[in-house]
Amino acid sequence: MSADFAAAKWRKSSRSNSEQACVEVAQVPNAIGVRDSKNPNGGHITLDRAVFTNLLNLLKAGDLDL
């Protein structure tokens, strides 16, 4: 999947905590980007919107808890 995040507006997760376990997300027309807020220049993963929605649903349901 090709997506340009150069001008994307990144926002920190509302679930970020004081232990620096934070992620940021950005939307572009055809994808969602996810990156580590402590290392914004370290790259990001690009997800299709449907995949991102499925990931959020799994997280909210606790299906990915360790």
The answer to whether the beta carbons of residues 39 and 21 sit under 8 Å apart is no
Residue 33 falls inside a structural domain = yes
Q: Is residue 54 part of a domain?
A: yes
Per-residue pLDDT, 46: 96
Is residue 9 in a domain? no
The count of other CB atoms within 10 Å of the CB of residue 27 is: 16
Question: Quick check: is 31 in a domain?
Answer: yes
Instruction: Band the pLDDT of 3: cuts 50, 70, 90.
Output: confident
Flag whether 11 is in a domain. no
* Confidence at residue 43, expressed as pLDDT on a 0 to 100 scale: 92
How many domains does one find in the chain?
Answer: 1
Q: What per-residue confidence (pLDDT) applies to 26?
A: 96
pLDDT value, residue 19 = 66
Domain that holds residue 56: 19-61
Tell me, yes or no, whether 8 lies in a domain. Answer: no
- Dump pLDDT digits (tens) for 10-57: 998 777 766 667 889 999 998 999 999 889 899 999 999 999 999 999
37 is written with which tokens? 């807020």
